[in-house]
Amino acid sequence: MTRRQFITLLGSTAATWPLSVRAQSKLRTIGYLGSGSPSAQGPWIAAFVQRMRELGWIEGVTFVVENRWAEGRSERYAEIAAEFVRLNVAIILTEGVAAPAAQRATATIPIVFAVAGDPVGAGLVASLARPGGNVTGLSIQQPELAGKRLELIRKVVPGLRRVAVLANIGSNNVALEMVEVQTAARTLGLEIAWMEIRQASDITPAFDSLIGRAEALYVCGDPLVNANRVQINTLALGARLPTIHGFREFAEAGALMTYGPNFPDLFRRAGDLVDKILRGAKPADLPVEQPTKFDLVINLTTAKALGLTIPNNLLALANQVIE
């Protein structure tokens, strides 16, 4: 094929693209500020990319995602946000814990958080109905979730009275969850043993201080603990503590159970918000949405290792059973 023939073929191929694609021919860069690691959050961003494709965007032609991972180090949030501002990305996609750093870095680039604990309390939005500013997204602020997790672990651990709670007290979102856990525990008649951490090096000493003080472990959701989930699950198993968490990745890494919003689904829905913004909508006018899909994941291998029997009615409710 001659060069002239190739150019002619390329032009005729472009002419057959849908009008919507040709109208979007400008490549839009989406900067993803990931608070954790690719191994933990890679499936989430993959769900987002898939949704973008479904909405008519062509990866590498009409949009591209630049991924940056903080690996659980909060000091990296501001650095990554500043880099995206320098790159002049079209949109910054992130999670609630890192969103404030993005918000401080720019008041003009749209910001979409796929996950946030308390976006109003964190100052990300003025209200859920009318966010205002350049930020919107999806909130997982669900106070009843803490109570449901405690009820689930109580169904599996006979005579449960004392629950350890592992929490990164340096996180605003975790502070909210800690209050919810304490309220739910009081209602259920459970005692709480707090395990407070601020960095990865605090995890092992926290477990050392827990010996004999609890019969189960509740882990508050946070990028720091998610990045160290294998270590936490190993220590919990060594201490014979059945563990419950909100992220399904914890069960996949060895925790007994997880119950919480389906994060890939939240990132898919973030794709809908990004699509609307790229087509001209303003974040200020897009209401913050709530999760609609929740998953219960049970790890039977861990249950057997702990000598626990999972009730059949609970297994029937599980979205995933790991064997």
**pLDDT tier at 1, thresholds 50, 70, 90:** very low
Q: Which CATH class is domain 144-261+295-322?
A: alpha beta
Write down the residue that tokens 């969103």 correspond to: 99
pLDDT band at 158 (very low <50, low <70, confident <90, very high): confident
pLDDT (0 to 100) of residue 143 = 61
* Domain span(s) for CATH 3.40.50.2300 in the chain: 3-141+263-292, 144-261+295-322
- Global pTM reads 0.78
Q: Encoding tokens for residue 157?
A: 């651990």
pLDDT average, residue stretch 165-193: 90
Are 184 and 147 spatial neighbours (Cβ–Cβ below 8 Å)?
yes
* Superfamily of the domain at 3-141+263-292: Response regulator (3.40.50.2300)
pLDDT beyond 80 at 314: yes
Q: In this prediction, what percent of the chain has a pLDDT beyond 90? A: 75
Q: Which residues contact 201 (CB under 8 A, 6 or more apart)?
A: none
Q: Is 4 exposed, middle or buried (0-12, 13-18, 19+ CB in 10 A)?
A: exposed
Residue 288 above 90 pLDDT?
yes
